[in-house]
Amino acid sequence: MYDLDHPLKFGIVRLCKEGEFMKLLVTGGAGFIGSNFVHLARKERPDWQITVIDKLNYAGNKASLKEVWEEIEFIEGDICNQELIDGLVSKNDLVVHFAAESHNDNSLNDPWPFVESNLIGTYRILEAVRKHGKKLHHISTDEVYGDLELDDPVKFTEHTRYNPSSPYSSTKAGSDMLVLAWVRSFGIHATISNCSNNYGPRQHVEKMIPRQITNILSGEKLKLYGKGENVRDWIHVDDHNSAVITIIEKGKSGEVYLIGADGEKNNIEVFNMILNMMGKDETWLEHVKDRPGHDLRYAIDNTKLINELGWRPKYTDFAAGLQATIDWYTNNEDWWKPLKAETEAKYKKIGQ
């Protein structure tokens, strides 16, 4: 049973008057972006009371919260559990909704968990937010817009037509539409952000950058889809989360904000940077069969976020951010090592 009446017992709370702090419910807060959000929020907004809910599937890891464990309330549970979500939402001011199934390869192998978590889970949250008159910030992805041609100067904007190409991106597109419908139909207070590709510490080793870093650390070659011409718009996870904090504090209900840091690079360029930084040559690069329906290019136009809310990215030097990421995985083998063998076994099974 979940003890929803259990009080927060942090010393900082006892020193302040009741109701002085904003109370946040962070869904998926033991995942990559969610856990980094919790770390950044504890640093930048120490007056926020944070409750994390995470079902701790393969991508959720309590170890990602160990440095802030005594400063937060943690609930192991599923956002699809209506009774649980209703009780948690009722006790908080704002829901920051990171929880999602998010790996494209997994969605191609088994779409159902993506439908369940991304659509049904978001519906549960929306209904609880509506019932209790709370606020919501919904985290989404630029993949809902499909892809762009490699030689096209156009970038995604808040007005780009949705054109998802995988079960993952289509369920995220559906969750965005649900949020906007609940704003219009029921008048809830909600904002949405769609972000480009994140990198940084605490990212599961199934994802592109940590997979390649940990391959080298494990004595294995890098695995590059196809020719490596696909372009991604990279952003450090702390920049993503600083933008989320800005939207929480300054954003307007019903508005969509695109988060990006002008970090376009094709995959072969990123792979070569990793090789060079980790002292390896091209013999450590192995080409594998391409992902089905692999999107060509993502690119974010962040004009609205910058001009209307005044946000600016901090990690504008991708090479420096990548080196810091390599250093983190090098120094935190105990975090990623237990995940590596199972992840590579899954990739091997599908020839990637």
* Nearest one of 204, 176, 192 to 30, comparing CA atoms: 204
Q: Where are the alpha helices (DSSP H) in 6-135?
A: 11-14, 32-44, 82-90, 104-109, 112-114, 122-132
* Beta bridge partners of residue 138, listed in sequence order: 97, 192
CA dihedral 156, 159, 163, 164 (to 10 degrees): 70
Tell me which residues are annotated as active site: 142-143, 168
Beta strands 264-266; 231-236: pairing state: antiparallel
DSSP calls for 314-340: S---HHHHHHHHHHHHHH-HHHHHHHH
Greatest Cα pair distance in the chain: 61
Q: How many CB atoms lie within 10 A of CB 248?
A: 19
